[in-house]
Amino acid sequence: MLESLLLKLHMLLVVEYETEKAFGKTKEKWEKEVSELSADEQVDILENNGNEVHSEYEDGGRWSNYQTTVYRFWHNSEFVYFQVSKEVPATEMQDGGDFGDPEIIQVYPKEVTTTIYVSTPPDETEKKPKGGRK
C-alpha cells in the first residue's frame, strides 16, 4: 500500500515541479525511482502531502527526542493512514546530528473510550440515562 501511494505522490510532485522529467518514463522507471527513495525522502513526501491526524512527542534524553505522527491519505477510494516515527534533535544544537532512519508503517484508526474520575459530582443532566424518558 505504501509503495503505490508513494508512486502516485512522487509522480504528482515531478509533474508539478519538474515537468520536463515527467515525460517519456515508463511505469517501471517510475517504480524504480520510487523504490530508490531514501527513508527521509519518503517521509518528506508523506509529511508534505498528507493530512496530519495525530501527533505525539516523547522525551528521549539529552541529545534527542522521539516524534510520532500519523497522516491520512485518500488512496484507492478509501482513507489510509501511515505513521511516521523518527528521532528528532533535543535542541537546535543537535540539528544535523546522526539520527536513525525514520520508520513508516501503515496504521488503522481504533476508537477507544476512556473513563476519568473527577472530584465534583455530576450535574442532573449527566445523571439521566441516555434514551430514557423525561
Q: What is the pLDDT of residues 2-41, one digit of tens each?
A: 999 999 998 888 888 888 777 888 889 999 999 999 999 9
Asked if the structure places residue 15 within a domain, the reply is yes
Domain count, the chain: 1
Tell me the residue ranges of DSSP E strands in the chain: 51-58, 64-75, 78-89, 103-107
Given a cut of 70, is residue 131 above it in pLDDT?
Answer: no
Q: What is the pTM of this model?
A: 0.74
Rounded percentage of the chain residues whose pLDDT exceeds 90 = 51
Q: Note whether residue 127 is domain-resident.
A: no
Contact between 89 and 67 (Cβ < 8 Å): no
Contacts of residue 43, Cβ cutoff 8 Å, sequence gap at least 6: 84, 86, 102, 104
Tell me the residue range of the domain where 106 lies: 2-110
Q: Taking Cα atoms as reference points, which of 18, 94, 86 lies closest to residue 46?
A: 86
Nearest to 101 by CA among 44, 48, 62: 44
Percent of the chain with pLDDT over 70: 87
Q: Is residue 37 part of a domain?
A: yes
Q: Decide if 115 is inside a domain.
A: no
Indicate whether 44 pLDDT > 90. Answer: yes
Chain segment 80-97, per-residue pLDDT in tens: 999 999 988 877 666 666
pLDDT higher than threshold 60 for residue 98: yes
Rounded-to-integer distance, Cα 46 and Cα 32, Å = 18
Would you say residue 123 lies in a domain? no
The pLDDT of 113-131, averaged and rounded, is 77
Burial grade of 43 (CB within 10 A; 0-12, 13-18, 19 or more): buried
Query: What is the structure's pLDDT at 23?
Result: 81
Residue 128 lies in a domain: no
pLDDT at 88: 83
Instruction: Write down the mean pLDDT value for the chain.
Output: 86
